[in-house]
Amino acid sequence: MRVLLVGGGGREHALALGLAADPAVSAVVAAPGNPGIASVAELRAVSASDPAAVAALAVETAADLVVIGPEAPLVAGVADAVRAKGIAVFGPSAEAARLEGSKAFAKDVMTAANVPTARAYVCVDEASTARALDEFGAPYVVKDDGLAAGKGVVVTDDRSAALAHAAECGRVVVEEFLDGPEVSLFVVTDGEAALPLLPAQDFKRIGDGDTGPNTGGMGAYAPLPWAPPGLVDEVMRDVVHPTLAELRRRGAPFAGLLYVGLAMTAAGPRVIEFNARFGDPETQVVLALLETPLGGLLHAAATGTLAEHPPLRWRDGAAVTVVLAAQGYPAAPRTGDVITGADREGIIHAGTARRAGDGALVSAGGRVLCGTATGVDLAAARDAAYALVDGVGLAGSQHRTDIAAAAVDGRITIPG
C-alpha cells in the first residue's frame, strides 16, 4: 500500500512513523512534510489546503490511501477532491468537518443528538454576548466560531476581556464553564463502525500550572491512570455513536478521526469540543503505544470496512510527550534559530526546516519539536521525555516542566 500523508507538523511526523512501521505500507509520501518526516518518507511540496493540488498529487504518486493530518485541508474539501478521484482517504468530507470548522454547527449537532455538553449561545453582537456572559457568570468562556488552531478560545474571570474577545471575533459561542480534568479521546471511524484509541490528556496553556494563554498544546500523556474504568464505553454510547448517527441522518457521514475533547465534571463527562482529525500532541503518545499496524487501521476506516477490523492491540506502559516551543510562542514566535541535538529517536519534528545554503536544522514555527518517550509506567516515560527535551539546544526555547506530573503524583481528581 502506498500512502500520501498531508501535513507537516508533529502530528504528521508521528503518523509518518506509524505508517512507515506498518509492513503493509510500501512507501509513504508526505506533502509538504518536514525534516523529521524526511527520514521515513519522500517529501513533496504541495499547498495542503488546495483540493485540486492534493488530488492531483495523490494520482501522480499512485496513492492507495491518502491520510489528511490537519483541519484546514479537511474544512477546505481536500478529502472530497481525493475521493472524487476514486482514491481511499482517511479524513472527513468538508461537510462533516464542520464539526470542527464551526463551533455553532458542532453545538447544533450535539443538541440534536442529545450529547452532554456545556449550555451555549451563539452571539453576534455586544448586547447578546453580555446577556449570555451574565447568565452563565464567571469564569467566562468565549469561542471564535471559526477555525483558530486551538487559540480562538478565551476562558477568563475578566468580563471586559471576554467582551473584547467576542468583539474581535465577530460571531462567537458563549458557553458555561465546565469544571474538571480534561480528556482527549480519539475515535477511528468509517462513519458507522467506530474504534476508540487510548484516552490521553494534553496541556493547552503555555505555562506550568495551566497559566497563561491557550496554545496548540504543550505536552501530553497516555494512558490516564485516574480515568474511571467505564469512561470510554460511556463516551462511545452517549457521545460518539449518537453524533455519528446524527451526521449520517444529515447526509454528512463522518469517516476519519473523531476527536472528542471532554471535561470530567461532577455531573459526568461533558463534551468541550469535537475535532475532525488527530490532536497534536496527543497523537504522539497514543501512536507510541499502538501496536496494531496503523496503515491497515486507517485504510479500513477509509474504505468502510472497520467493522471487520480486529480489536486494537496496545503496548504495556505509558507514553509522555513534551513540546519545545520557540521564544515568544504563542503570541509572536521567533523562527530561524539553529537547533542542536534533535537527531535522536523520540524527537518529533513540528516546526522545523532546513536552512537554505548550509542545510542546518532551524526553527520554523511556534511549536518546534517534541520529546516523546515510552516507559514501564508514567513516571519512567516522563523522565525519558524530559531527558530527550533537555538534550536539545534552541536559543530562547520554552517548555512546560509539569507535563504528566499531577498524574504521576496522583493529584488529579474528578469534582463531586
Q: Is 177 among the residues that bind ligand AMP (CB under 6 A)? A: yes
Shortest Å distance, C-beta 154 to ligand AMP: 8
Q: Is 277 among the residues that bind ligand AMP (CB under 6 A)? A: no
355 φ, ψ (degrees, to nearest 5): -70, 135
Nearer to ligand AMP (CB atom), residue 122 or residue 153? 153
Size of the site for ligand AMP (CB under 6 A): 15
Shortest Å distance, C-beta 370 to ligand AMP: 18
Shortest Å distance, C-beta 277 to ligand AMP: 13
Q: Is 153 among the residues that bind ligand AMP (CB under 6 A)? A: yes
Nearer to ligand AMP (CB atom), residue 321 or residue 352? 321
Q: In angstroms, rounded to a whole number, what is the distance separating the alpha carbons of residues 296 and 291? A: 12
Piece of the chain touching ligand AMP by CB under 6 A; list 150-158, 278-286, 301-309, 351-359: 150-158
- SS3 track for the chain: CEEEEEECCHHHHHHHHHHHCCCCCCEEEEEECCCCHHHCCEECCCCCCCHHHHHHHHHHCCCCEEEECCHHHHHCCHHHHHHHCCCEEECCCHHHHHHHHCHHHHHHHHHHCCCCECCEEEECCHHHHHHHHHHHCCCEEEEECCCCCCCCEEEECCHHHHHHHHHHHCCEEEECCCCCCEEEEEEEECCCCEEECCCEEECCEEECCCEEEECCCCEEEECCCCCCCCHHHHHHHHHHHHHHHHHHHCCCCCCEEEEEEEEEECCEEEEEEEECCCCCCHHHHHHHHECCCHHHHHHHHHCCCHHHCCCCCECCCEEEEEEEECCCCCCCCCCCCEEECCCCCCEEECCEEECCCCCCEEECCCEEEEEEEEECCHHHHHHHHHHHHHCCEECCCECCCCCCHHHHCCCCCCCC
Nearer to ligand AMP (CB atom), residue 138 or residue 155? 155
Nearer to ligand AMP (CB atom), residue 218 or residue 373? 218
x-marked contacts with ligand AMP along 28-47 as a string, rule CB under 6 A? --------------------
Contacting ligand AMP (CB under 6 A), which of 11, 13, 165, 204?
Answer: 204
Nearer to ligand AMP (CB atom), residue 204 or residue 299? 204
Q: Is 175 among the residues that bind ligand AMP (CB under 6 A)? A: yes
Nearer to ligand AMP (CB atom), residue 141 or residue 232? 141
Q: Is 261 among the residues that bind ligand AMP (CB under 6 A)? A: yes
Nearer to ligand AMP (CB atom), residue 139 or residue 296? 139
Q: Is 150 among the residues that bind ligand AMP (CB under 6 A)? A: yes
Shortest Å distance, C-beta 2 to ligand AMP: 34
Q: Is 98 among the residues that bind ligand AMP (CB under 6 A)? A: no
Q: In angstroms, rounded to a whole number, what is the distance separating the alpha carbons of residues 80 and 94? A: 7
Q: Is 182 among the residues that bind ligand AMP (CB under 6 A)? A: yes
C-alpha cell at 287: 501512536
Q: Cell 463551533, residue? A: 103
Relative to beta strand 256-265, strand 352-354 is unpaired
Contacting ligand AMP (CB under 6 A), which of 83, 98, 143, 399?
Answer: 143
Nearer to ligand AMP (CB atom), residue 209 or residue 310? 209
Nearer to ligand AMP (CB atom), residue 336 or residue 416? 416
Residue nearest ligand AMP, CB atom distance: 273
Contacting ligand AMP (CB under 6 A), which of 145, 273, 280, 282?
Answer: 273
Q: Is 367 among the residues that bind ligand AMP (CB under 6 A)? A: no
Shortest Å distance, C-beta 228 to ligand AMP: 19
Piece of the chain touching ligand AMP by CB under 6 A; list 65-73, 78-86, 147-155, 385-393: 147-155
Amino acid letter, residue 117 = T
Contact 201, 407 (CB under 8 A): yes
The site for ligand AMP (CB under 6 A) is made up of 118, 141, 143, 150, 153, 155, 175, 177-178, 182, 204, 214, 261, 272-273
